[in-house]
């Protein structure tokens, strides 16, 4: 194999950049470039060895506008009927909602939402960031809008704040915040959790004698699901600091 020339830090050849962004095997990327199907900063570049910065490079690849991200962190407005599992069974996987290059890069969900839960889901191919965001020590607050079967009482909120015992752990687990939403008798509860235990909201709500009928995650850290991000749509997160505590 020909020796690759030494390149300035943070730079690479166009074929390698396309490959790492998930546009296919090296040969396929080279083919796209040589066929004149790749623009960089608005100009067609047909030399696979042309050197560019790797990050935040404005490409158009076969008609698809794409800004390169060396590490991908995206938010997804998860609809019901999708599984977060990497090997989904009964339901399609959330990765199906991402464009082909991100599917190829193997982004993983940051924590999981149940099949019937909607709302804010993060996905990344940045291993250390995934670890940071899912580490129980990091205490990233996650806000859930819960629709319950029965009216939510102040006593239930107080119990959730004080801590409830779940079936798999003798240590009580407490909500960071729990408030009734709406006037008078209401079935709406806003719950903020620092942990990410399996079915945690459903089990905590069951532990105080109610039942979850609908579940939506509205925020993670300082990031609130944008109102203009439609169900099933995704968007880049440019700075991970927004989801770190
Ligand atoms: N807690 C649950 O019970 N389900 C979710 O999807 C997320 C948190």
CA of 158 to the centre of ligand 1 (A): 20
* Mean pLDDT of the 236-241 span: 95
The Å distance, Cα 128 to ligand 1 centre, comes to 24
- Among candidate residues 47, 114, 158, 239, the one labeled active-site is 114
Domain boundary assignment for the chain: 11-67, 73-136+223-242, 141-220
Instruction: Decide the pairing of beta strands 118-124 and 212-220.
Output: parallel
User: Catalytic annotation on 114?
Assistant: yes
Global pTM reads 0.94
Q: Do 165 and 207 form a contact (C-beta atoms < 8 A)? A: yes
- The whole-number average pLDDT for the span 28-50 is 98
User: What is the residue whose two structure tokens read 């600091």?
Assistant: 241
Domains 11-67 and 141-220 in one fold:
no
pLDDT in tens, 12-24: 999 999 999 999 9
pLDDT digits (tens, 9 = 90+) for 131-180: 989 887 888 999 999 999 999 999 999 999 999 999 878 899 999 999 99
Distance 106 CA to ligand 1 centre (A): 23
Residue from 78, 85, 113 whose mutation best tests the ligand 1 pocket (most atoms within 8 A of CB): 113
Protein residue closest via CA to atom 4 of ligand 1: 199
Q: What is the pLDDT of residues 77-122, one digit of tens each?
A: 999 999 998 777 899 999 999 999 999 999 999 999 999 999 999 9
Query: Which superfamily, per CATH, for 11-67?
Result: RNA-binding S4 domain (3.10.290.10)
State whether CATH 3.30.70.580 applies to domain 73-136+223-242. yes
Name the CATH code of domain 141-220 (choices 3.30.70.1560, 1.10.3720.10, 3.30.420.40, 3.40.50.800).
3.30.70.1560
Q: How confident is the model at residue 37 (pLDDT cuts 50, 70, 90)?
A: very high
Pocket of ligand 1 (CB under 6 A): 113-114, 117, 199-202, 215
């Amino acid at each position: 194999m020909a020796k690759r020339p030494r390149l300035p830090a943070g730079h690479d050849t166009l074929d390698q950049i396309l490959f790492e962004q998930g546009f296919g095997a090296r040969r396929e990327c080279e083919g796209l470039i040589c066929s004149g199907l790749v623009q960089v900063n608005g100009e067609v570049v047909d030399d696979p060895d042309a050197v560019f910065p790797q990050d935040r490079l404005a490409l158009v690849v076969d008609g698809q506008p794409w800004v390169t991200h060396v590490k991908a962190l995206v938010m997804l407005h998860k609809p019901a009927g999708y599984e977060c599992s990497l090997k989904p069974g009964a339901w399609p996987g959330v990765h199906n909602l991402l464009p082909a290059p991100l599917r190829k890069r193997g982004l993983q969900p940051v924590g999981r939402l149940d099949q019937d839960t909607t709302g804010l889901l993060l996905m990344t191919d940045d291993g250390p960031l995934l670890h940071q965001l899912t580490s129980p020590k990091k205490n990233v607050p996650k806000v859930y809008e819960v629709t319950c079967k029965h009216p939510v009482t102040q006593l239930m909120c107080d119990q959730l704040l004080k801590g409830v015992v779940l079936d798999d752990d003798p240590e009580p687990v407490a909500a960071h915040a729990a408030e009734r939403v709406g006037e008078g008798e209401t079935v709406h509860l806003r719950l903020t959790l620092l942990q990410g235990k399996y079915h945690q909201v459903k089990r905590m709500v069951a532990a105080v004698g109610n039942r979850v009928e609908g579940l939506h995650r509205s925020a993670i850290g300082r990031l609130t699901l944008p109102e203009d991000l439609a169900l099933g749509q995704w968007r880049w997160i440019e700075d991970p600091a927004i989801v770190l505590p």
